[in-house]
Structure 1
Amino acid sequence: MTPLPPASPGSPGPPGSPGSLASSEPSLSTPLTRLLGVRHPVVQTGMGWVAGPRLVSATANAGGLGVLASATMTLPQLRAAIREVRARTDAPFGVNLRADAADAPDRVRLVVDEGVRVASFALAPSPSLMAALKDAGVVVIPSVGARRHAEKVAAWGADAVLVQGGEGGGHTGDVATTVLLPQVVDAVDIPVIAAGGFHDGRGLVAALAYGAAGVAMGTRFLLTSDSPVPDAVKARYLAATARDITLTTRVDGLPHRMLRTPLVASLERSGPLASLLMAARHARAHRRASGLTWPQLLREGRALRAAKSLTWPQTLLAANTPRLLKSAMVDGDPDRGVMAAGQVAAVLDDLPSCAELITRMVREAEEVLAGLRGIQNGTAP
């Protein structure tokens, strides 16, 4: 893959955008920044109901890679969102796709037709989907949770890979980032993006020391002033302690890291029948909102079941996630929804803008690197 041309560091953004940061700002050049054409090795992940045009464009204008979450959008909504991001920024951005979606080939064609420069995947895409994107010059970045998955997508031609350790929010694994990341770095020859537990410049330097080419963050970007999440919901996140963050399978049958809310506590107390009945209601709501037919929804369920080795009850439970996330992230009702959260939520206490966050991270990283050089040279205080 030919690296994308870099964004122009001192050029203003489109009318109404926050504009690019000054060309005198600090920057860290890595294989990831050169591949994507961004100024900083920081990626904002594609969080459903959260990573819309406002957050994505703010991240892009700040020099990171913003990623649109397409799973909660219809095709027309996705096209409109892509065009809105482009109206807000001239910097590169990406779209996150579900490889198991019934209309995944249509979404790939839309991404290509709209000239999106980066496509990420929550699940490993099929070789055919990846080939369609790469033939059009789109950078492909699958997310993985195991070394063998990274090796597989690298062999298929992935341009980079995002590896999330168990600290990460939402669907996650049980291996810590500090164990999983070096395994993946040693296994593949493409840029590796580290996710799970990152929020500042110290973490960025640690990821680089492990051999990663950058970091990806979800919870940290959710808790910015550019995030569309309602203020009352952000306040619940900021008040959370480590004990308030749980890993449960009772929402959708898969390990899911989130804040412990009254609804989550209720689901953990209830029997499997109550959860399945709720999932059936949410499946109907998802079909109406997505515009999918029942046969399409069934095919989507079969693909998800095969990709994650689920039972049919677990597959039905998966319908819970989009609707319950919407209750909190869009409707502002955390007591009736779920709040995906990485463990890092327990140490966050502010709501910076994306520009403030990324600039602060890079400055901290430079200070840490300078301190390490001082230790090496024997000049550290």
Structure 2
Amino acid sequence: METALTRLVGVRHPIVQTGMGWVAGPRLVSATADAGALGILASATMTLDRLRDAVREVRCRTGEPFGVNLRADAGDAGDRVRIIIDEGVRVASFALAPSRELIAQLKEAGVVVIPSIGARRHAEKVAAWGADAVIVQGGEGGGHTGEVATSVLLPQVVDAVDLPVVAAGGFCDGRGLVAALAYGAAGVAMGTRFLLTSDSPVPDAVKASYLAATVNDVTVTRAVDGLPHRMLRSELVDSLENSGRTRALVQAVRRAAGFRRMSGLSWNRMIREGLALKHGKDLSWSQVLLAANTPMLLKSSMVDGRTDLGVMASGQVAGIIDDLPSCAELVDRILAEAEETLKSLEPLRSAP
């Protein structure tokens, strides 16, 4: 199935596996790439040395194109861009809109730049700065998310920019791919669906929590870091939502201490990074600390399997996923479903 996305990045199928922290490592990315989709390596939770090693590991595992996701607001974003360029990575994706300077640096080196955006105005901005495509995430998507549903946001962006648009938020099968293409998208991006594969490194017990979730178990909360964050409801989420400020601060300090030990960051650096995430919002001190060490909360679940101590970012689509195929099986199934869906629509064209 050839689209503007497949031509742009050189993959066989218009499907993207998003860069999920602690999840989208070399194993998942290479399996996705071998399946013919675009795998995106998550770098935000990696040191610079680990990022370089991870890129090289993916390249050893597969000869197919892949990408690296990074945070545009990270203090070392320039260093990470240099690694992407030096290592010959095909695609750079961004969790936040990158600066005009970063886009220019990447494009000059021949790297395809695909920022993720959650509003039409953001798409218009990065398009004017030279982005090659955009991933549009509607409110159904996991992690930090907006309020506008994909079915409303996607056509807005398609009409606003003359770029390949990749739809994210609520996709898991071939029907969704056809629907996205009908809206004018050039493909779909999926996080939770790829998290729930046999190639995903997430512990089996955590995957079981996702599979057991209903649509109503995937909630949006501001209790973690003050920003809308879509995740599975858990003991931690309930605790934070029901805690007073003092108790929430104690919990935040304890978790921040764990992240500081893991990352090597100073308390001052962590607090500065937390404050940088406020975006003018009235955050409590517990939310500032939790915003700075959200990676530790994700690691507790996604790596350590401690769902009682961590958060489980999740798209709402988790409520309708019930199996763990390999990436190859998943991509093949999506393409087969898409073909079947398109065939089922043919009689409508010839109907009197």
Q: What range describes the TM-score normalised by the shorter chain of this pair? A: over 0.9
Distance in 2, matches of 1:376 and 1:297, equals 58
Match of 2:241 among 268, 283, 286: 268
Matched, 1:165 2:138: yes
2:297 aligned partner, one-letter code = L
Residue 236 (str. 1) matches residue 213 (str. 2): no
| Counterpart residue number, 1:104 | 77
2:13 is equivalent to residue 36 of structure 1: no
Counterpart of 2:48? Answer: 75
* Equivalent in 178, 182, 191 of residue 209 of structure 1: 182
The 5-angstrom pairing of residues 300-311 of structure 1 reads 300-301=273-274, 303-305=276-278, 308-311=279-282
Q: Percent identity?
A: 73
Q: Which has the larger displacement, 54-63 or 320-329?
A: 320-329
Please tell me whether residue 371 in structure 1 is matched to residue 323 in structure 2: no
Question: Tell me, what secondary structure is at the counterpart of 1:266?
Answer: helix
- Residue ranges of structure 2 left out of the alignment (5+ in a row): none
TM-superposition CA deviations, 1:90-137 (whole Å, max 9, x none): 000000001111111111111111111101000011111111111111
Offset of residue 336 of structure 1: 1.8
SS of the aligned residue for 1:318 comes to helix
> Against the structure 1 CA distance between its residues 103 and 288, is the aligned structure 2 distance closer, same or farther, given a 3 Å change threshold?
farther
For 1:117 and 1:270, the matched residues in 2 are separated by 45
Distance 1:295 1:127, change over 3 A: farther
TM-score (norm 1): 0.88
Q: Does the residue aligned with 1:334 lie in a helix, a strand or coil?
A: coil
Correspondence for 2:152 among 176, 179, 194: 179
Tell me the C-alpha RMSD between the 2 structures. 1.7
- The alpha-carbon deviation at position 185 of structure 1 amounts to 0.5
- Could you tell me how far apart the structure 1 residues matched to 2:180 and 2:334 are? 13
Shift in alpha-carbon separation, 1:311–1:111, aligned structure 2, 3 A: farther
Deviation at 1:292, TM superposition (A): 4.1
Q: Kindly tell me: are residues 85 and 112 of structure 1, through their superposed partners in 2, closer, same or farther at Cα, counting changes over 3 Å?
A: same
The Cα of 1:190 is off from its aligned counterpart by: 0.4
Paired residues of 2:117 and 2:137 also in contact (CA < 8 A): yes
Which region of structure 1 is more displaced relative to structure 2, 126-135 or 186-195?
Answer: 126-135
Aligned residue number for residue 278 of structure 1: 251
- Work out the CA distance in 2 between the residues paired with 1:288 and 1:159: 38
Q: Distance in 2 between matches of 1:132 and 1:301?
A: 27
TM-score (norm 2): 0.95
Q: Which SS does the other structure have where 1:96 is aligned?
A: strand
Q: 2:235 matched to 1:259?
A: no
Q: 2:199 aligns with which of 211, 214, 226?
A: 226
* Distance in 1, Cα, partners of 2:228 & 2:240: 14
Could you tell me which runs of 5 or more consecutive residues in structure 1 were left unpaired when the two chains were aligned: 1-27
Q: Distance in 2 between matches of 1:34 and 1:116?
A: 16
Q: Report the Cα distance in structure 1 between the residues aligned to 2:206 and 2:181, rounded to whole angstroms.
A: 32
Q: Which amino acid is the alignment partner of residue 157 of structure 2?
A: V
Name the aligned partner's letter for residue 28 of structure 2.
L
Deviation string 1:24-54 (CA, Å, 9 cap, x unpaired) is: xxxx100000000000000000001100000
Candidates 92, 95, 100, aligned match of 1:127: 100
Between stretches 237-246 and 204-213, larger displacement belongs to: 237-246
Distance in structure 1 (CA, Å) of the matches to 2:84 and 2:269: 21
Moved runs in structure 1, 4+ residues, more than 2 A? 272-305, 308-317
CA deviation profile, 1:159-183 (whole Å, cap 9, x unmatched): 0001101011111111100001000
Choose which of 148, 160, 166 in structure 2 pairs with 1:193.
166
Which whole-Å CA distance do the structure 2 matches of 1:86 and 1:48 have between them? 19
Q: Distance in 1 between matches of 2:113 and 2:51?
A: 18
Q: Give the AA of the match of 2:280.
A: S
Does the aligned pair in 2 maintain the 1:279–1:316 contact within 8 Å?
yes
Tell me: CA distance 1:295–1:129, structure 2 relative to 1, closer, same or farther (3 Å): farther
Q: Which residue is equivalent to 1:17?
A: none
Q: Is the 8 A contact 1:230 1:330 kept in 2?
A: yes
Distance in 2 separating the partners of 1:62 and 1:121 = 23
Q: How many angstroms apart in 2 are the aligned matches of 1:143 and 1:49?
A: 18
Measure the CA separation in 2 of the matches of 1:296 and 1:335.
27
Aligned length: 350
Residue 140 of structure 1 corresponds to 113
What CA distance in whole angstroms lies between the structure 2 residues aligned with 1:204 and 1:136?
Answer: 31
Give the 3 Å change call, closer, same or farther, for CA 317–254 of structure 1 in structure 2.
Answer: same
SS at 1:95 equivalent: strand
